[in-house]
Amino acid sequence: MKVFLSSDMEGTAGVVDWEQCVGDGPQAAAGRRLLLAEVNAAIEGAIDGGASEIVVNDSHSTMRNLPPDAIAGQASYISGSHKPLYMMQGLDASFDAVLFVSYHGSVGASAGLSHTYNPRAVAEARINGTVTGEAGINALVAAHHGVPVVLVTGDRRACEETAALIPGVHAAVVKEHVSRLAAHSLHPSRARELIRETAQKAMSCVATAKPPPFTTPVTLDVSVRTTDIAEAATWVRGVELAGPRELRIEGDDLLAIYRSFCAAILLTRSIAEAV
């Protein structure tokens, strides 16, 4: 079985501060080591469950957080910024399953380091009326290709938000919310054990798993923080204003919706950072 793994970082047990997630300082290096161990735990569990090929897409920040020669299972590694499909780069219909590792809750949620793609731009995102984070938005690509999302790991809110859109997804909750900059995490060794066990269980169900069950036409509504961001986002094909700070992307082509969303996020980044 061929497996696609998208790894974020903020959902890693023990990671609670932005200093652990960005840059090249000692705290960031420590955060990357924790992330690598959780990614490897998911890979090992997937292989125990029958996976024969793993592709890891580094989806956090500059997207070069993992040392390629330390990734388990001889997994291939997609890294680097400015990927056309961002957090889902590399996924196509040849895959049998998708794993989301170290995911976090959506912007505004009771979750550590909560955000949705760009915390300076996005105030809330909803798919067909359901509030979602990055996992739900990324699942649009999996649904387009007909590939089931079988695992999500991270904080409790990330797992709950994913399950709201993908019933039956296997979830490994490795930390509980205390505040946006504090969490009660499992010991890293216990978190890895849980991830490995849950990944193995998830893979055992791949034969009967279904792609994310989005009802089409899909509507992705995005509330943004300023009218300037909203106006600039409408320069992207498929993005329309539904209010002064409300964007709407809708249709039957789930990949096109995702592409328009990512393009709008990229286009408005400089405006959002200037606020």
Q: Cα–Cα–Cα angle for 58, 62, 65, nearest 5°?
A: 50
Q: Is 115 a catalytic residue?
A: yes
Residue 273: CB atoms within 10 A of its CB come to: 10
Residue 69: CB atoms within 10 A of its CB come to: 6
Determine the 3-state secondary structure of 147 from DSSP: coil
Q: Which amino acid is at 110?
A: S
β-bridge partners, 264: none
Please say whether the dihedral angle defined by the alpha carbons of residues 120, 105, 56 and 187, taken in this order, is positive or negative: positive
Q: Which amino acid is at 168?
A: G
**From 60, 115, 144, 170, the catalytic residue:** 115
Q: What's the Cα-to-Cα distance from 194 to each of 7, 30, 37, 164, 201, rounded to whole Å?
A: 16, 21, 12, 21, 11
β-bridge partners, 235: none
The catalytic residues are 115
